[in-house]
Chains A and B, each alone.
Chain A
Amino acid sequence: SYELTQPPSVSVSPGQTASITCSGDKLGNKYVCWYQQKPGQSPVLVIYEDNKRPSGIPERFSGSNSGNTATLTISGTQAMDEADYYCQAWDSTTAVFGGGTKLTVL
């Protein structure tokens, strides 16, 4: 079965750029989306189709996908961005999530 691999944790200082990676075999051939989940809350879509932002998502969130790796980039990270982030792609008729990355802003 298809697998997506994320680092368990990433730390970033306020105002700096955070990068969260998601790796999978030939991932660049698939569309990747990213979800943000804060404690006790439901996931929120922050990036879809590799690099598109839904309405209401700040411009500091961006995405890229090439080769075997997709990356979520948060520029000018704010304390409110501290959360778990999950990548997701489709493998035929099955949706696959990465294991999640806890972003700490300190």
Chain B
Amino acid sequence: EVQLVESGGGLVQPGGSLRLSCVASGFTSSNFWMHWVRQAPGEGLVWVSRIFSDGSSTSYADSVKGRVTISRDNAKNTLYLQMNSLRAEDTAVYYCARGLGARSSLDYWGQGTLVTVSS
């Protein structure tokens, strides 16, 4: 069974940093693109970032570019999202999701981890 389990969310002050993790199981994660998608409270889905199966290619939404870094450790089946210079508008549930190809759909999603940016 494919499972994605996020962790690392919490309350952080504006300007602070946080690293999210997503542990994959039930499939060979090194064969797949992986993504982060966020959802602010009561709002819609917003794509954040993606990373190629071997980590050699990444892309980011304009809203987070320069403040966020996606990475992965395939030996640990773990995806990361390092978030710096956090703003109130970064408050959201962050989901990791699996993608079959470079521009494919996201076929499995984790349960999400809540990041709250507030003083």
Residues of A whose CB lies within 8 Å of any CB of B are 1, 31, 33, 35, 37, 42-45, 48-49, 54, 84, 86, 88, 90, 93-100
Are B47 and A97 within 8 A (Cβ)? yes
Q: Using Cβ atoms and an 8 Å threshold, which residues of chain B touch A35?
A: 45, 106
Are B61 and A42 within 8 A (Cβ)? no
Choose among B47, B95, B105 the residue that contacts A96 (Cβ–Cβ < 8 A): B47
Separation in Å of the B81 CB from the closest CB of chain A?
Answer: 15
Q: Using Cβ atoms and an 8 Å threshold, which residues of chain A touch B45?
A: 35, 37, 43, 86, 88, 97, 100
Which A-chain residue is minimally distant from B98 (CB atoms)? Answer: A45
Q: Within the assembled complex, what's the spacing in Å between the Cα atoms of A1 and B62?
A: 9
Are A48 and B105 within 8 A (Cβ)? yes
Residues of B whose CB lies within 8 Å of any CB of A are 35, 37, 44-47, 50, 59, 61-62, 95, 97, 103-112
The tally of CB-CB contacts under 8 A between chains A and B is 58
Which A-chain residue is minimally distant from B61 (CB atoms)? Answer: A94
Choose among A42, A43, A84, A90 the residue that contacts B103 (Cβ–Cβ < 8 A): A90
Q: Within the assembled complex, what's the spacing in Å between the Cα atoms of A33 and B37?
A: 15
Choose among A42, A45, A98, A100 the residue that contacts B105 (Cβ–Cβ < 8 A): A45
Q: Using Cβ atoms and an 8 Å threshold, which residues of chain A touch B109?
A: 42-44
Separation in Å of the B114 CB from the closest CB of chain A?
Answer: 12
Are B59 and A93 within 8 A (Cβ)? yes
Are A42 and B95 within 8 A (Cβ)? yes
Q: Within the assembled complex, what's the spacing in Å between the Cα atoms of A94 and B5?
A: 24
Q: Within the assembled complex, what's the spacing in Å between the Cα atoms of A95 and B33?
A: 13
Q: Within the assembled complex, what's the spacing in Å between the Cα atoms of A96 and B62?
A: 12
Choose among B47, B108, B112 the residue that contacts A95 (Cβ–Cβ < 8 A): B47
The answer to whether A94 and B104 touch (CB under 8 A), given A1-B62, A43-B95, A43-B109, is no
Q: Using Cβ atoms and an 8 Å threshold, which residues of chain B touch A99?
A: 44
Which A-chain residue is minimally distant from B57 (CB atoms)? Answer: A93
Which B-chain residue is minimally distant from A99 (CB atoms)? Answer: B44
Are B104 and A48 within 8 A (Cβ)? yes
The answer to whether A86 and B44 touch (CB under 8 A), given A1-B62, A93-B59, is yes
Are A95 and B50 within 8 A (Cβ)? yes
Q: Within the assembled complex, what's the spacing in Å between the Cα atoms of A54 and B106?
A: 11
